[in-house]
Amino acid sequence: MPDLRPRFDELLRRLGEISDVEHAEAILTWDQETGMPPLGAPARAEQLGALARIAHELGTAPELGSLLEELRELEQSSDRESFEASVIRVTRHDYEKKLRIPSELRAEMTRAASVGYAAWLQARDAVDYEIFRPHLERRLALTSEYVACFAPFDDPYDVLLDDHEPGMSTADVAAIFERLKAELVPLVAGLGEPVDDSCLHGYFSPARQREFSLEVLSRWGMDDQAWRLDDTVHPFATNGSITDIRLTTQFHDDQLVGILSCLHEFGHGIYERQVDARYERTPLAEGVSSSFHESQSRLWENIVGRSLSTWRFFYPRLQECFPERLAEVPLEEFHRALNRVAPGLRRVDADEVTYPLHIILRFELERDMLAGAVTPSDLPEAFDAKLRDYLGVEPRNVLDGVLQDVHWSDSSFGYFPSYALGNVISVQLWERATSELGNLEEEFERGEFGPLREWLREHVHRWGRTFKPPELLERAVGGPLDAEPYVAYLRAKVEALEAA
């Protein structure tokens, strides 16, 4: 075999350029959602559209396709887990997919997402869905164009889902969601009187919440050399590289949900931070799928962040930060309030048991919108109807309903299922980690979170996109995606609250 190393180095150079442009786009988006003045929105939309076009053209260049063909022999002669074979294989997958999409469509979808985000903010400020509706109509039209690029298909939603959950079908998701819905709708309807969570409400200084959150995150693995935390309307995490991790949150002065938001976003951040450093500036240097990403955020927020053992360590410090609110509140009372189960209006504030129903209703509405069964004009009432049917709650206005999530403003159709699938994976990972590491609760009580973090690094994070999601799950937990451990986990949570 000829020496193909120079050609592989050329591939790495090209991939590095694409990565640089994409990360520049990510940082501009981060800036738009954290610090950009409102009047910067039109120009930012053009900037992001231009970068999206450049990245797409670099990623579909004929020279890149020729290079991949030259390197096919190197891929086939290398171990499948090797850096070289993995880079070539994943790049070829991305290249062939991108070839189906016109550069201008990619650019226009990015521009529309940027403009749509600004319109979503305006609509929320005015509590007026009609401000946002034309932008949703535009993005649905663009999404339909995008889906058409991949015809034929069994289900048009498969195209959108594949962007976030490679290799998973809509039918697979629907089957898991039917299992969850069958269990959770009656479980939620049969809930008794909810736990008193008044200790979590009142005045809590945002500055002190931020201070406390950073103390927790630093204990978990965040440092000020590679991470930062900023404020935004709808929390998210992004990165400029594996050594530039950007978390965002929203602290409210009348409750503590901003702290939980920080714990959630940390899970996303630690995934990107612990990818193998060799993968930097290649397509391998990111999470393997959105559901795996969400499994990390939900594991750290819920399984770790709501556990009694974790708060045995952190609660005294939280009491020091808010003595006027928490000094007289026993740990057990605080912990029960933190794990309260009761139907609510907003997804981001939902407890662990009701949360999947918020996701399922959005999944169903996305499919209906894509099929034309629900139009943007119909969406507010359709959204409210599902909240009533699945959760028994009545929105007061569009902020509680259709405008509560950012995702439909930025064309993230197909992403919502990842949240619930991530919950399923999080419990599978937790059960496997504890079977191998022993009683992690004892570690948490001592403020030791490194063993879990390092287990996740070894079994999930460091691999980036080396394996397809089902293969990574099989390697990490020893089996396929399975909703039953998650269902049992939720049942146990309700039983524990009712028994206390």
* Inter-residue contact 254 to 203 (CB < 8 Å): yes
Helix, strand or coil, per DSSP, at residue 327: coil
pLDDT tens profile 177-220: 999 999 999 999 899 889 999 999 999 999 999 999 999 999 99
Q: What is the pLDDT of residue 167?
A: 86
* Inter-residue contact 268 to 295 (CB < 8 Å): no
Alpha carbons 296 and 291: distance in angstroms, whole number: 9
Q: Of 241, 460, 86, which Cα lies nearest the Cα of 469? A: 460
Q: What residue ranges define each of the domains in the chain, with the CATH number in brackets?
A: 5-152 (no CATH), 171-499 (1.10.1370.30)
Using the predicted structure, report yes or no on whether residue 65 has a pLDDT greater than 90.
yes
Alpha carbons 476 and 288: distance in angstroms, whole number: 13
Q: What is the pLDDT of residue 429?
A: 98
Q: Of 148, 122, 125, 146, which Cα lies nearest the Cα of 134? A: 122
pLDDT tens profile 80-91: 889 999 999 999
Using the predicted structure, report yes or no on whether residue 411 has a pLDDT greater than 80.
no
How many residues appear in the chain? 500
Residue 487 is inside which H or E element, if any? helix 484-499
pLDDT tens profile 343-392: 999 998 899 999 999 999 999 999 999 999 999 999 999 999 999 999 99
pLDDT tens profile 128-179: 999 999 999 999 999 999 999 999 999 999 999 999 999 899 999 999 999 9
Using the predicted structure, report yes or no on whether residue 296 has a pLDDT greater than 70.
yes
Alpha carbons 406 and 58: distance in angstroms, whole number: 29
Catalytic residue among 25, 265, 294, 352: 265
Compute the average pLDDT of residues 216-238. Answer: 96
Residue 145 tokens, joined: 């164009």
> What band does 412 get if pLDDT is binned at 50, 70 and 90?
confident
Least confident among 10-19, 109-118, 455-464 = 109-118
Q: What is the pLDDT of residue 497?
A: 86
For the question of residue 333 being annotated catalytic, the response is: no
- Looking at every residue in the chain, the average pLDDT score rounds to 96
Using the predicted structure, report yes or no on whether residue 36 has a pLDDT greater than 80.
yes
pLDDT tens profile 346-360: 998 899 999 999 999
Helix, strand or coil, per DSSP, at residue 380: helix
Q: What is the pLDDT of residue 212?
A: 98
Alpha carbons 247 and 188: distance in angstroms, whole number: 32
Alpha carbons 186 and 208: distance in angstroms, whole number: 39
Residue 265 tokens, joined: 């976003």
pLDDT tens profile 424-449: 999 999 999 999 999 999 999 999 99
* Inter-residue contact 460 to 429 (CB < 8 Å): yes
Alpha carbons 278 and 16: distance in angstroms, whole number: 12
Compute the average pLDDT of residues 237-245. Answer: 98
Give the pairing of strands 237-241 and 227-231. Answer: unpaired
Using the predicted structure, report yes or no on whether residue 77 has a pLDDT greater than 90.
no
Using the predicted structure, report yes or no on whether residue 233 has a pLDDT greater than 70.
yes
Compute the average pLDDT of residues 469-488. Answer: 97
| Helix%, strand%, coil% for the chain, nearest 5 | 65, 5, 30
> What band does 1 get if pLDDT is binned at 50, 70 and 90?
low
Amino acid at residue number 467: F
* HEC readout, 153-215: CCCHHHHHHHHHCCCCCHHHHHHHHHHHHHHHHHHHHCCCCCCCCHHHECCCCHHHHHHHHHH
Q: What is the pLDDT of residue 78?
A: 82
Using the predicted structure, report yes or no on whether residue 500 has a pLDDT greater than 80.
no
